[in-house]
Amino acid sequence: MGGPWISDEREDPPIPLGLNEMTIPRAAILASIGTIAILLLSIIWVGWGAYVFVGQLDKAFATVDEDSLKQGDRWSWEVMLLFETCEPRDDAWAWPENLSAQDEPFWLPGELSCEWEHQGSQDRAVFAINNAGNETLDLQVSLSTENVVVTHPSGGVVTVEPDTAELVALQVTGDIEEETFVITVAHATVSEARVELEVHLLADSASMNLHSSPGQRMTVHYQVWIYDTGEDLDEGDLPATAGEDPMCDTGAPWLCYIKGFGWGLVGLDCEIDRCGLFDGSTHRVLLPPELAYKDRPDREPANNQWLLFELSINELYL
């Protein structure tokens, strides 16, 4: 029996490029293996992404025990404008005679009504959220007005660790003579868990053109007292950054201050470029211990005291 290997027929022409007849099948096999590997990796990647997404959904919609969000009969967070212009909302409670002597996890016995006297469009103010509970809180800030917006943090979403306080910056967006609005700070997943701050927004007779914003450098004049006793602690001039000072997280040699001091500088105003002594506005800022010297025995007599600061701009660096 004959066969092709003994045929006198002309052999097929050689495959070009010096490849033998097994090259194409090998290449096809290798390509198939590569394709299968890519498909497997894609399936693993998609599966992992789906797993993470479902986990995030579960976390977002997980049932939260409302009791874990309370301290006694109150939600475990409170809200306060940093200005020394607050009073009990609707006279629902009495202002403590001595703030630092309170034996409570909260700063104050109830919700507040505060006055904000602004110096024109784009002026700013800051309020604090205190977590008096034992759980980390994911909170959403909303405002009942379109004339004021939240500029920090982005989106108005705030995470507050237990026994700490975080700051939220506001900005006036128009020429408002007078308006009362409500700041609502609600839990991210328990809609009925909410705390409010009422703000009376008034236009100052002296409108100014420049308003300090978070991250802006300046030199300031300050004076500080213990709020409850009126004891004068210090007075002077300092270089400072409004809001958070990014240099303080670098470990580099730098002048870093208590948390509330920098945020109390946000919204300081002046009329002319770079400002100048006696040309700007003054803030009277009330700071609870969490924003000042809580549990700092090395800072007596300010340790665990409420501090009252009077702040004004010497020079604003544009």
DSSP assignments along 223-259, one per residue: EEEETTT--EEEEEEEEEESS--GGGGTTSS-----H
Same domain, 123 and 220: no
pLDDT at 21: 47
The CA-atom distances, in angstroms, between 207 and each of 122, 165, 294, 303 are 11, 31, 36, 37
> Among residues 173, 203, 233, which one ends one of the domains?
203
Residue type, 145: T
**pLDDT tens digit string along 42-94?**
788 777 765 655 555 445 445 678 889 999 999 999 999 999 999 999 999 99
CA 152 – CA 167 distance, rounded (Å)? 8
CATH number at residue 173: 2.60.40.10
Let me know: does 169 contact 147? Beta carbons within 8 Å: no
Question: pLDDT band at residue 276, thresholds of 50, 70 and 90?
Answer: low
Task: Give yes or no: residues 284 and 199 share one domain.
Answer: no
Same domain membership, residue 120 and residue 232: no
Whether residue 190 is contained in a domain is answered as yes
Q: Note the pLDDT of residue 205.
A: 77
Domain boundary among 149, 182, 203: 203
Instruction: Give me the chain's average pLDDT, please.
Output: 85
Does residue 6 sit within a domain? no
Beta bridge partners of residue 114, listed in sequence order: 86, 199
More confident residue, 151 or 34: 151
Q: Which residues span the domain enclosing 219?
A: 210-316
111: in domain: yes
Q: How confident is the model at residue 226 (pLDDT cuts 50, 70, 90)?
A: very high
Share of residues in the chain with pLDDT > 90 (%): 64
Count how many residues are written for the chain. Answer: 318
Which one of 160, 185, 203 terminates a domain? 203
Using pLDDT thresholds of 50, 70 and 90, give the confidence band for residue 20.
very low
Say if residue 238 is in the same domain as residue 277: yes
Structural domains in the chain (count): 3
Task: Please spell the DSSP secondary structure of 32-46, one letter per residue.
Answer: HHHHHHHHHHHHHHH
Contacts of 278 (CB under 8 A, 6+ apart): none
Q: Is 185 exposed, middle or buried, given 0-12, 13-18 or 19+ CB atoms closer than 10 A?
A: buried
pTM of the model: 0.79
**Taking a C-beta distance cutoff of 8 angstroms, is the pair 159, 140 a contact?**
no
Q: Are residues 57 and 80 in the same domain?
A: no
Q: Are residues 128 and 88 in the same domain?
A: yes
pLDDT confidence of residue 62 = 54
pLDDT at 12: 41
Burial of 298: CB neighbours in 10 Å, binned 0-12, 13-18, 19+:
exposed
Beta-carbon neighbour count of residue 157 at 10 Å?
A: 12
Dihedral sign from CA coordinates of 230, 236, 237, 239: negative
Average pLDDT over residues 287-294: 96
The verdict on 80 and 185 lying in the same domain is: yes
The angle subtended at Cα 164 by Cα 313 and Cα 115, nearest 5°, is 45
Same domain, 253 and 308: yes
Q: Are residues 31 and 148 in the same domain?
A: no
The angle at the Cα of 108, spanning 265 to 148, to the nearest 5 degrees, equals 45
Band of the pLDDT at 5, cuts 50, 70, 90?
A: very low
pLDDT band at 11 (very low <50, low <70, confident <90, very high): very low
pLDDT tens per residue, range 171-203: 999 889 999 999 999 999 998 999 999 999 999
Choose the weakest-confidence range: 10-24, 77-91, 159-173, 227-241. 10-24
Q: What is the pLDDT of residue 186?
A: 97
Q: How far, in Å, CA of 106 to CA of 66, rounded? A: 18
User: Do both 198 and 78 map to the same domain?
Assistant: yes
Domain at 248, CATH number: 3.10.50.40
Taking the C-alpha atoms of residue 168 and residue 121, their distance in angstroms, rounded to an integer, is 18
pLDDT value at residue 16: 44
Domain check: are 157 and 269 in the same one?
no
**101, 152: one domain:** yes
Evaluate if residue 296 carries a pLDDT over 80.
yes
